[in-house]
Each structure stands twice: as C-alpha cells, then as structure tokens.
Amino acid sequence: MLSRGGGAEGARSTPVTTVFRPVVSFNSRILAALAIVAACVLTPAPASAETGGAGQVETGGNVSNTAFDRQGMWVWYVSHSEGGSIGAIIARAKANDVGTVYVKAGDGGGSWSQFSRGLVQALHRGGLDVCAWQFVYGDAPLAEARVAAAAVAKGADCFVIDAEGDYEGKYAAADRYVRALRARIGATFPVSLAGFPYVDYHPSFPYSVFFGPGGAQYNQPQMYWKTIGTSVRTVYEHTYLYNRIWGHPIYPIGQTYEGPGAASIRLFRRFAQSYGGLPPSWWDWQETSGQEWGAVGAASALQPVTGYRLEVVHPELKKGSKGDMVVWAQEHLIAGGADLPVTGIFGRQTARAVRAFKEGHGLPANGIVDTDTWNALLTLTPVRANWAASRARPGARARPATRPLSARLPAKAYEIPPRP
C-alpha cells in the first residue's frame, strides 16, 4: 500500500509483492509523537487549505450495506497472518470487532494464489466478509482487469483497486481498466479505490476516471498519519477536504504498522465517528501487535471526538487552478449544459462556464467554484470522457488515446517522500 514517489508497491521481477518498509529517522519519530499529542488537543480549527466556505455538519450511518460497512483489516500475506491459520484469523477478527478481511488477490496482471475460493468460503463460514484487493500499474489494464474479475468470481464480497503513483497521468489506462472490469463484474458490484489521501498533491492522478460513472462507488484513502508525519486530526481534515467532491462514501484506512500506539489508533476510530461514522480498516494484519489489536477492537473508540466541530467544505477552484479536480468540475459543468473542453486547466472559458452555471442556479455570478457551487454541481451526473483509444469501425474513424492537459503535471508532493 501507499507507494513512495510513484514507485511500485511490488517488484515486477518477482512473483510476490514487497510492500515498502518506510525508514523513519529518530527525528521523524519524535515529530510523529509530538503530532499525536497535538491531535489530542481538540479545540476547533479550520483545515489548513483554501476552501470554498463552510457547509453543513457531515452525517453518517450505514450508507452502502456492503462489506465496507464492517471494520476491516488488510492482509498482505495470508501465510504471515496468524501463521496462515484460518481458524486463528477468524478468532482474532471476532475478538477485535473486525468483520471484513481485505486479502491481496493480485499484483498488476498476475493473480496471487493465496486468494482462493476455498479461503473465501472458509472465512465466510467464520462469519467474515472478504474483499479482494489488487495493486495496479496501468501498463496492461486489460490484463489487470482480468485478474480483478477472477478474484470477484472466487466469491469476494467486494473489490478494491489499489492505484497509486504508477497511475499518475494514465487516463487512458484507467479508462480501459474500469470499463473492462465493469464489463466482467457488472455495474453494481461494490468496488472501491484505495489511493493517495491528499488529492491536492496529485494533480495528474485520474481520480475522475476511477470515481466517475462506471467506476468505483466507494473511497478508501490510505491515511497513514504516523508515516506521513502528521497527526490523526490533520490527516482527517486534509483528506476529507479534498475527497468529498468525488461524491462517494469515504471509508478511512488507518495504520497499525510502525507501532503508531494504541491511543492514536483509538483516536483514529473516534475521528471516523466524527466524520460520518463509516468504519475504518487497517494496514496491516501481520504488523499489528497485541496491544494494537486491543485498540482496534476497543468499545471506547466508538464515540465521536468530544468537542470537535466539523465543518463540511470543498476546495476552491478559480482561474489558474490545474489538475484532476478541475477535470471533475469541467465534466460536471458540461453535464449542466456548458460547451467546454475537458482540459484540467481552469482558464477563461471555464471561468465563463462557471459564471453562467452559478447565475442559472441563483448563486453569486462569478468564476469561482466554491462550496455552494460544488454542492450544485454534484447534483449532476458528470459526463464520462472517453480517454481510451478505439478501433476503426464501419462508418467511424479510429480514436487515439488521449488525456487532459493537466495529466502532464508532476506531483506537488508525496505524503510519504521517496527514499533518497
């Protein structure tokens, strides 16, 4: 999960994946510890980003009735989780309020044999839901879609796309992958994207494809606060500010690796309650200690954070803004009747379209996409751009693969910096 600097989670030359092992210096450990302490100071403060104005307090509840609605734990290697004992996995999960197990089923175009129909059936008999997850690169999207569909066919209750740095700029690949996957598993099978938490850091990542029509219905940002070097509170505020605009339920992924501490794990669960009540999941099983398991299952962590005031706001876009958030706004503006190219660049034409849209919806007629504008735009179903190439057909020309201009933009930063 969460690769660094666009690097792959796994080496392609070997049949098994090697998740990064972040090297945390002594100073960064101190910084992380101080950040955790700071997270416990719960006086209200705005998120540290430009926003489009305050909105209503977020509401929660069971919004999907899928396996995502049970607290989960991610499994990288089954053999390293409780020594591979399915009975022990079931017992550990039940003892610690874990209802869904996320098991790695594929890496790129290769399936992992550990995800089998027998494994799924055994976990089901133990009362657990099972989600398959796959790390994808975008180099062979059709092969990756076949691997994903094969995992679903083995009885998975849901499927997770783990797309990260390798997918930045790859709009055509994302388009082909999503279309091919849905053609095989159907339009309604529950799919999530587990990607970068800080959308604003990654202007060329095709969120608008993965979360667009026919894509993933659920959002699972990888919010590894300690490794990122921030507090639990800040990772929530930053992540949710930019992820709400995709319009899908957000199920946060927290960390139990690198010894984040029981207090921080409990606090992460409490913030999940404050941010709508959708249960978190945790990376990962084999790196979770007994104390951390206790924190994951603690009943005391099911209460919202006392005294924390949540404001629901959306990021502000205006002339000069660039990136996939602009792509998303343009696709919604077109759905609202605008004649506009999807470029990911907020220029004069987009500003005029925004002004006209706001005037037509009784909003202040300016060229700024603020919270009220987003709220109006998000009532529309965005147009679905065709980024993938198509073959020539009788009476029609072949269409080359394309992408928005913003797909050329480099990442502004990485939550977990690349190794030197």
Q: Among 302, 332, 362, give the residue marking a domain's end.
A: 302
Question: Does the pLDDT value for residue 49 go beyond 50?
Answer: no
Is residue 223 located within the same domain as residue 79? yes
User: Is the model's pLDDT at 38 over the cut of 80?
Assistant: no
Indicate if the pLDDT at residue 55 is higher than 70: no
pLDDT of 79 > 60? The answer is yes
| CATH number for position 331 | 1.10.101
Residues of the domain holding 138 = 65-302
Whether residues 246 and 367 share a domain: the answer is no
Assigned domain for 116 exists: yes
Place 2 in a pLDDT band, splitting at 50, 70 and 90.
low
Summarize the confidence of residues 106-128 as an average pLDDT.
98
**pLDDT greater than 80 at residue 283:** yes
Q: How confident is the model at residue 392 (pLDDT cuts 50, 70, 90)?
A: low
Measured N-to-C along each axis, helices 232-243 and 26-39 cross at an angle, to the nearest 10 degrees, of 80
The pLDDT tens digits of the residues spanning 149-205 come to 999 999 999 999 999 999 999 999 999 999 999 999 999 999 999 999 999 999 999
Which of 16-30, 203-217, 346-360 shows the lowest mean pLDDT across its residues?
Answer: 16-30
Average pLDDT over residues 364-368: 96
Residues 210 and 358 occupy one common structural domain: no
Q: Specify if 238 maps to a domain.
A: yes
The reply to whether 295 and 161 lie within a common domain is: yes
CA distance 9 to 162: 10
As for how many domains the chain has, the answer is: 2
Q: Is 293 inside a domain boundary?
A: yes
- Position 376 in a domain: yes
pLDDT at 389: 80
Q: Which of 271, 302, 333 is the last residue of a domain?
A: 302
Do 345 and 234 belong to one domain?
no
What is the reported pLDDT for 64? Answer: 65
Q: Regarding predicted confidence, which is higher, 53 or 105?
A: 105
Do 383 and 294 share a structural domain? no
> Is residue 33, in this structure, part of any structural domain at all?
no
The secondary element (H helix, E strand) that includes residue 311 is none
Whether the CB-CB separation of 144 and 107 falls below 8 Å is answered with: no
Residue pair 104/81 in contact (Cβ under 8 Å)? The answer is: no
- Residue 286, domain member (yes or no): yes
Task: Give the count of alpha carbons within 13 A of 280, CB side only.
Answer: 30
Q: Are residues 247 and 144 in the same domain?
A: yes
| CA count, 13 A, side-chain hemisphere, 389 | 8
Residue 72 located in a structural domain: yes
pLDDT of amino acid 57: 40
The span from the CA of 314 to the CA of 375, in Å, is: 9
| pLDDT for position 233 | 98
Residue 17 confidence (pLDDT): 31
pTM of the entire predicted model: 0.86
SS3 350: helix
- CATH classification at residue 221: 3.20.20.80
Beta bridge partners of 369: 317
Asked if the model's pLDDT at residue 18 lies above 80, the reply is no
**Least reliable range by pLDDT among 154-163, 353-362, 382-391:** 382-391
Contact 151, 115 (CB under 8 A): yes
Q: Is residue 20 very low, low, confident or very high in pLDDT (cuts 50, 70, 90)?
A: very low
pLDDT band (50, 70, 90) for residue 50:
low
Domain C-terminal end among 246, 272, 302: 302
Q: Are strands 191-193 and 158-163 parallel, antiparallel or unpaired?
A: parallel
Residue 216 in this model has a pLDDT that exceeds 60: yes
The overall longest dimension of the chain from CA atoms, in Å, is 66
Both 217 and 364 in one domain: the answer is: no
pLDDT of residue 25: 32
In sequence order, what are the beta bridge partners of 281?
Answer: 72, 253
Identify whether residues 343 and 294 lie together within a single domain: no
Q: List all residues 6 or more positions away from 215 whose beta carbon is below 8 Å from its beta carbon.
A: 178, 191, 193, 209
Q: For residues 412 and 60, what is the distance between their CA atoms, to the nearest angstrom?
A: 32
Residues 295 and 340 in one domain: no
The stretch 64-83 carries a mean pLDDT of: 96
Structural domain includes residue 23: no
Say which residue, 26 or 115, is predicted with more confidence.
115
247 and 383 in a single domain? The answer is no
Instruction: Write down the pLDDT at residue 7.
Output: 34
For the residues 311-339, what does the mean pLDDT come to? 97
* Mean residue pLDDT across the chain: 87
Cα dihedral value 303, 307, 313, 315, nearest 10: -90
User: Residue 36 — pLDDT band, cuts 50, 70, 90?
Assistant: very low
238 & 376 share domain: no
Predicted confidence (pLDDT) at residue 108 exceeds the cutoff of 60: yes
Q: pLDDT grade, residue 413 (50/70/90)? A: very high
At 204 the pLDDT is 98
Q: Are 338 and 307 in contact (CB under 8 A)?
A: no
Model confidence at 313, pLDDT cuts 50, 70, 90, reads: very high
pLDDT for residue 124 is more than 80: yes
CA angle, 100 then 106 then 109, to 5°: 155
